[in-house]
Structure 1
Amino acid sequence: MLITAIESIIESLKKAGIIPDVVDEFKPEALLDIKYGEKKVELGNKFTIDETNKTPDVNFVFNKSDSDDKSRYILMMVDPDAPSPKNPTHREWRHWIVGNISSDGNLSEATHLDDYMGPSPPSETGEHRYVFLLYHQQVPHIDYPRLDKVKRNNFKARQFAEQYSLKLISANYFMCKRD
């Protein structure tokens, strides 16, 4: 079941255009279990702005039984459709980055590069894709810079991952629009 779910990630990301808009094709090694309250993010389901205004709960489910306790991960949330899907001149809008996450997914002891910013797509721009990306850090700890003061628009997850030698291992996303 886990392998089937992991295989469906790539298919869904391609269908939504996340591959190639945000990331290149990769081999998923984990599932990103993300919940806003009791509602799970499930590869493109719809959320309202109100449902996503608070930081979600995040867990990882690995495709291997022996996860390394020393491994660390980084989680990003981006909007590749800013300011609108038809004119994404601010692609990608950085909504959240947390690094140095332990394999148990404990975010309280992780490095928060910037604070969570919930979706706020402009009126009449249609549905935006909000993409969560989970990367494996190649080293146990990275001294990431605090990004709060850096403009959130035109962030590039690919470039950030390359800069810090991060390996993409999972992704998930939801859709949201302003009513």
Structure 2
Amino acid sequence: MHMLNILALVATVTAAALPNGAAEKRTTTCSTASSASLAAAKAAFTQAKLVPDLIPSFNPEVTVSASFGGKAVKLGNTFNPVETIPEPSISFTAEPGYDPSNTKYTIFLVDPDAPGPAAPIFKDFLHIIIANAQPSCVTSQTRTTLASYQLLTPLSIAAHRYTILVYRQPPNYTPPVDIHYLPGVRNNFDLNGYVAEAGLIGPVGGNYFMEGLAQAVCLVTPNCTSDGTGYPLS
């Protein structure tokens, strides 16, 4: 019995001496992204010209998973407006070198092609901002919705590149006040300006999908165009 007490004391002291969060890491499995998935995301963003149309560079450290009503976003696959009525579910893997239990992130969903990719005069249209997000392995996380989900409203048959981005928050983070948090004031959101003002780091991960209006839907949608401008130019 005396030996068991000694072993229990050693275990307690060892756990107390570990860096903050290290003891939790031993019992919590947090997956990280594979090099192949990160390379695929980087290549997809480059091919879609999201770099530099939306962000100046992209060197992902996490993979971002998202779905609308069970349909997964897969680096450029196509959705229709009915499929994206429900708010998306968004998660991401742990970032190497950062304790997932005390590192938090901000998630954006933006449209760099509003109202149409041929004349994106309303870029970057904001659809979501969620702060204080953590990797999917952290089950007790409490996310803060800054800009609630606004339905996707492409105004052209030509598809828009709806993009999800994840940025790491600095310690003691306070989100900047922004008028774009309000519904109906979402056009011309300055993503990169917001990131700089907030001191966000990244993006550390991202995903995107395509969505436009079908020919039949465009015919009955005010201001919808077939040439990709989003609004008639004449």
Q: TM-score, normalised by structure 1?
A: 0.90
Higher strand proportion, which one? 1
Please point out which of 128, 147, 150 is paired with 1:114: 147
Q: TM-score, normalised by structure 2?
A: 0.70
Q: Equivalent residue for 1:25? A: 57
| Local SS of the residue matching 1:62 | coil
Q: Equivalent residue for 1:90? A: 122
Question: CA distance change for structure 1 residues 155 and 47 in 2, over 3 Å: closer, same or farther?
Answer: same
Name structure 2 gaps, 5 residues minimum.
1-32, 215-234
Q: How far did 1:65 drift?
A: 7.8
CA contact (8 A) 2:104 2:132 kept: yes
Q: How far did 1:23 drift?
A: 0.6
Q: In 2, Cα distance between the equivalents of 1:9 and 1:81?
A: 20
Name structure 1 gaps, 5 residues minimum.
none
Letter in 2 for 1:158: N
Q: Equivalent residue for 2:210? A: 175
Higher relative contact order (CA 8 A, sep 6+): 1
Please point out which of 157, 173, 182 is paired with 1:148: 182
Q: How far did 1:41 drift?
A: 0.4
Please point out which of 50, 73, 76 is paired with 2:105: 73
Identity of counterpart residues, as a percentage?
Answer: 27
Q: How far did 1:115 drift?
A: 1.1
Higher helix proportion, which one? 2
**What is the correspondence of 1:37-56 to structure 2 with a 5 Å cutoff?**
37-56=69-88
Question: CA distance change for structure 1 residues 54 and 152 in 2, over 3 Å: closer, same or farther?
Answer: same
Q: How far did 1:145 drift?
A: 3.1
Letter in 1 for 2:146: L
RMSD of aligned residue pairs (Cα, Å): 2.2
Q: In 2, Cα distance between the equivalents of 1:43 and 1:140?
A: 32
CA contact (8 A) 2:51 2:58 kept: no
Which structure would you say has the larger Rg? 2
| Local SS of the residue matching 1:30 | coil
Q: How far did 1:83 drift?
A: 0.9
CA contact (8 A) 2:75 2:207 kept: yes
